[in-house]
Structure 1
């Protein structure tokens, strides 16, 4: 044991040395360096304690017992040998005494004398032998007990010292554990961000690979940074071998410069562009070459393509013209104080700047800026970072766990920092908020069980409050028991006076209809050039969706009737419906009818109140052609109301009495954003109404190119999924396979053909 312990101490010392070396290597990170240093010192102390333990075991057990065996037991064995020898002599004397004959008195006397002497010696030695046995037995007891007691005292000291050492280290370890949890969360966020950037780069590269034209190369003579254009070019050396080297060139401050690496010093090729000229070179073996000639030298350069060569030539010519327009001395008034180009064509940095300009502030900041969202809607904990997306409230992490236990039919929980947020869902969260929803669910908190918990309340109190609030709904304002609430009052929306037998829209009208949407379709075909990001679950990129949502929420009602058909809004019903209906009207309405009217009037608060009071989200009004609240939301023109209903379980494929699903109505009214939303939520675009028309045929009849393109792309995506699905798994999503790449190419061809036909 001691030998194995010494080997363990030796290897432990090597491990501590490795930990300290690692601490020296991590000097740049204060957290890791401090952790390794403190833990290394503690482990070294533990090694010292182990060494002390083994030394005490050596002295108390091994050495003491070794001395007992070597000295005391050895003496006892020698005494036993002497005793055995004397006993044998006495036995021989007894034999001789017995054999002495009577007629020989001298032999008898001699044998008797020898026996007497031997017996005396035997008795003395026997006493010594018995004494040695008793002494050895007594000493054995206290020797064993003393050695084991000393060893256990050593063990006690070892563990006591170890406990004291680790007890002093315990606060730091708890602090480090808390920091480690945050580091894990930060690492997950960073990983998600890097994966998103990686997917964006791959998508951009994919779209560029399948675009028919190269991305347009632009230069800016009046750039604020002073860099007109920059990029990689091959430069022919001036040595005898005429070798070609790839360098990073830039035109800045009326000079042509290059550098070998990012942080290298700039090398000036042309000091003053006003004194040089540029021309393409077709008389050399290499392609895409051009020459910059100055009074003292010439520089042969090569671009990667013909378009890049033309761009560089035009950039140099434009820089020459710009230098002449400036004052003669202006070119020398500014020095090259840059050690590297302002832009290294970093895809990540460009993507980040674009996203920052589009998104503005983060999801967390945008949602927390809503009234009441600075603290948890259920317990008041500040800085909530979780949300219930179907209830529209922000929650702390503990309350979010309680909401999860309620089930997704009651509350759908999502993280504001770790999950991705669709634009429509983010806008929905910004429209609701803790203040609005608590005015509904906490309208009457008086009475037993009505005390709202705080952030420091026990979990069971919070759980009881949340169940009473959202499941039992004990704190809702009790509606008056009026007869009007037993059955809905008659309330019908005017029917859409659409003439299905009208002739097809002339080509001239279709052309006028298509002009406003051409930029968006063209944006799809040029997605590789503008570096847009696409998601698998969305056919439009997020910024396009965001603009569509803003349009359909803010300007759909004011946009006026479409030219393709007379909708419900064009019949004058929207204005009549938008008349004020106050709280008294709300209390008198049946919850189902209230949900219908709120969805049509785009009143999210009233709709949330109706659902809280038990309105069926898929209730069909038999007196209004079996329309559901989702269909009323389509007619009202609010995409956010549609999103709210879908999050609360609305059936996207439920049809009215005319066989029309919400997708049919959105297509008929030209609501592109709603069509996109319904397709994302699994709407059946092959469903036929009673007139045997599917959404695509309606969109073609209405000459709405946006929706036609959207539905056809969705149909192509569905066909690709079915084609890529393995046997027995119809409709499985295709991965990044060659077939999916071919699907991207088909999308580009379809857009081009669609524009030509239009």
Structure 2
């Protein structure tokens, strides 16, 4: 036991040494380092106590019992041997005495004398033997009990010391357990946030593995860090084999430099750009090459594409011109630091960052300018930078975290500065605002006497308020129902049903522009039926060209179909996409004074393009996919299409409307938008996963309807979406959203084919 204990102590010492080493490795994290240091010291104390225990066992048990066995038991064994020998001698003397013959007196006398001596010796040793037995028995009891009692006292001391040590650590361990629970919660929240950002990045990324957006490749000769442009280029070696190697190049402080690896130093290709020239090279076998020629040498470089080559050539030329503009003194003072580590940002990272920052600020200013949006909707914190896109409100960062914990079915949180914003979603945020939403969700707050939390309130108070406000919805004002509340008194004193008034926006038409070149214009589709469209006279059609696609819109179309993260936005001239401005009012009577059904209210508000009433209906529990059996099974989303509002459609989709739910005639929202010629709505539904292959009652899909209506815009959108689906099916698993082949030429052919298709469609129109 003692030997095994010594091995255990040695192993424990190695473990404690490892804990202390880990504490040194984690010294940047104060919580972890302090914890490991404290526990390591405590475990070392326990090892010391254990060593004392085994030392006590060594002295009190092992040594004492060893002395007992070595001295007392051995002495007893020697006495027993002497006693056994005398007993055997006495037996022999008895035998000889019995065998002595009577007629031999001298033998009898000799045998008798020997027996007497042997018997005296036996009696004496027998007494000594009995004495040794009694002494050994008594000492054995004493030695065993004394040894075990000493050992148990050592055990008691060991555990008492261990308890005292751990008792002192108990408050710290309880505090650490509480912090650990919070760390687990924070880790889960951070994981969920990172997963959400990961999903958004996957949605926003277009052909990221294949290449980045080359249209954004820029250079800046006045960059604060001195890096005009940087990125990977192939460099032809100057050896006999003329091998090509990929290196990270950068233009810094009027020098062209490169490095092999991140930790390697910089190699200067051109020491002074003022003494060199740059020119594209078309006379070699490899594509996208250009040459930088200095007085001492020339360097052949290759970019990844033609646009990148042009960008590098322009960047070198601009750096040469900038170097000539600089004074000699400032030029030599700002020379490249050879030991400085290079920037690892991508070629277009700096411009993208500035563009994204300025764009985020413009979005923030635009949304915060809406009434009530200057402070958090739930606690009043100024300058909110987070939004709930399905509620249409702005939030502070703490309230946004609480909203995120409610689930996306209740609140969808997005950052105004960090996330990308589609035009229709931005317009939706500007249409609602904190004041409008609070008039709905806090209508009876003062009547109930509840105190709204402030920016300085605790998180628990804010969380309780938000749950009561948006989950339990206790502050909503009841919809008009039966009784005096739902009735109005007429001129004769007789009650009459109360009328619900809803603002209906007018359609704003933009005047058509005069075409600069002769082309055939496409007609405006009618809103009756395909048969009526085909029978109408061509001369009586109204022509317009202000919504035709131009080649610059190709990337926006790809962002619709490939990522779903950005939109082309409202088309100019479509009145259905603007729900602001002066408008006429649409009214309807409540049904016999009965309580207004939230689903019916949402249904009518969607048609009337009244966003606040629609938001109030959803707040009162209206089913977003409510079906009106009395009106061909139409849903609020179909009514929004018929009403002509892209913003209402976006609001319903953000709140869970089914983009493929059909009416009794088998027509989904995409069918109705195609019939009515609402290009923006068609684009929105395609982006949200609308099924363009669905057939209505007349066995027509949206593409057939658009072709029959001669609507070139919608035909182009639907054909592009269909070509995109076919391409993804042809590519297999790599064609799934967010996964694009890295070097397949099919993608380039696909983009070129679609660009030619767009151009041909525009020319035909």
TM-score, normalised by the number of residues in structure 2: 0.69
Per mean C-alpha deviation after superposition, the further-off stretch among 71-80 and 182-191 is 182-191
CA distance in 1, matches of 2:89, 2:656: 111
| 1:632 is aligned to 2:630 | no
Q: Does 1:697 align with 2:704?
A: yes
Residue from 113, 132, 147 that aligns with 2:135: 132
- The structural deviation recorded for 1:541 is 5.4
In 1, Cα distance between the equivalents of 2:548 and 2:210? Answer: 29
Q: How far apart in 1 are the matches of 2:459 and 2:231? A: 59
1:410-429 correspondence runs (5 A): 411-412=409-410, 423=422
Indicate yes or no: 2:59 matched with 1:55: no
SS in 2 for 1:481: coil
> In angstroms, what is the RMSD of aligned CA positions?
6.1
- Do the aligned partners of 2:420 and 2:565 also contact (CA within 8 Å) in 1? no
Q: Shift of residue 128 of structure 1?
A: 0.4
SS for the counterpart of 2:693 is coil
- The corresponding residue for 1:556 is 578
1:261-410 equivalence runs, <5 A: 269=270, 271=272, 273=274, 288=289, 290=291, 292=293, 297-304=295-302, 330=327, 332-334=329-331, 335-336=333-334, 339=337, 345-346=346-347, 351-360=352-361, 373=376
Q: How far 1:23 moved relative to its partner?
A: 4.9
1:500 paired to 2:533: yes
Q: Is the 8 A contact 1:372 1:433 kept in 2?
A: no
| CA deviation profile, 1:631-687 (whole Å, cap 9, x unmatched) | 222234444533443455544333345543211222344444533443354433223
User: Mapping of 1:463-482 within 5 angstroms?
Assistant: 470=471, 477=478, 479-482=480-483
Looking at structure 1, the residues matched to 599 and 550 of structure 2 have their Cα atoms a distance apart, in angstroms, of 37
Aligned to 2:159: 156
Alignment of 1:28-43 (within 5 A): 36-43=36-43
Q: Which moved more, 1:275-284 or 1:140-149?
A: 275-284
Higher RCO (C-alpha under 8 Å, 6+ residues apart): 2
**Which residue pairs with 1:544 in the alignment?**
567
Secondary structure of the corresponding residue to residue 67 of structure 1: helix
2:255–2:336: 8 Å Cα contact kept in structure 1?
A: no
Which residue of the partner structure matches residue 686 of structure 2?
679
1:30–1:264 CA distance, 2 compared to 1 (3 A): farther
TM-superposed CA distance for 1:154, in Å, is 4.5
Residue 163 of structure 1 deviates from its aligned partner by 1.5
Q: Give the Å deviation of 1:267.
A: 5.5
Distance 1:12 1:61, change over 3 A: same
- Kindly state the Cα deviation for residue 92 of structure 1 after the two structures are TM-superposed: 4.7
Q: Displacement of 1:16 after TM fit?
A: 3.9
Q: d(CA) in 1 for partners of 2:278 and 2:471? A: 74
Name the CA distance, whole Å, in 2 between partners of 1:513 and 1:15: 76
1:387, 1:284 → 2: CA distance?
56
Aligned residues: 703
3-state SS of paired residue (2:208): helix
Supply the distance in 1 between the matched residues of 2:419 and 2:660 (Cα, whole angstroms).
26
1:251, 1:401 → 2: CA distance?
44
For residues 511 and 9 of structure 1, do their structure 2 counterparts lie closer, same or farther at Cα, with a shift above 3 Å needed? farther
Distance 1:738 1:315 in 2: 27
Query: Which residue does 1:652 correspond to in 2?
Result: 659
2:674 is aligned to 667
Is 2:617 the counterpart of 1:610?
yes
Query: Secondary structure, in 3 states, of the residue corresponding to 2:210?
Result: helix
Query: For residues 586 and 161 of structure 1, do their structure 2 counterparts lie closer, same or farther at Cα, with a shift above 3 Å needed?
Result: farther
- 1:117 pairs with 102, 120, 127, which one? 120
- Alignment check: 8 A CA contact 2:497 2:590 kept: no
Indicate conservation of the 8 Å contact 2:250/2:257, yes or no.
Answer: yes
Give the Cα separation in 1 of the matches to 2:757 and 2:227.
39
Secondary structure of the residue that 1:204 maps to in structure 2?
coil
- Which SS does the other structure have where 1:73 is aligned? helix
Render the CA deviation track for 1:361-390: whole Å, top value 9, x for unaligned: 999x9999958856589xx9xx99997968
1:138 Cα offset (Å): 2.5
TM-score, normalisation: structure 1: 0.69
Structure 2 residue corresponding to 1:520, chosen from 553, 557, 582: 553
SS in 1 for 2:124: helix
Alpha-carbon contact 2:375-2:394 (below 8 Å) kept: no
1:359 deviation in Å?
3.8
Question: Is this contact kept in 1: 2:428–2:650, CA < 8 A?
Answer: yes
Q: Equivalents in 1 of 2:151, 2:77: separation in Å?
A: 25
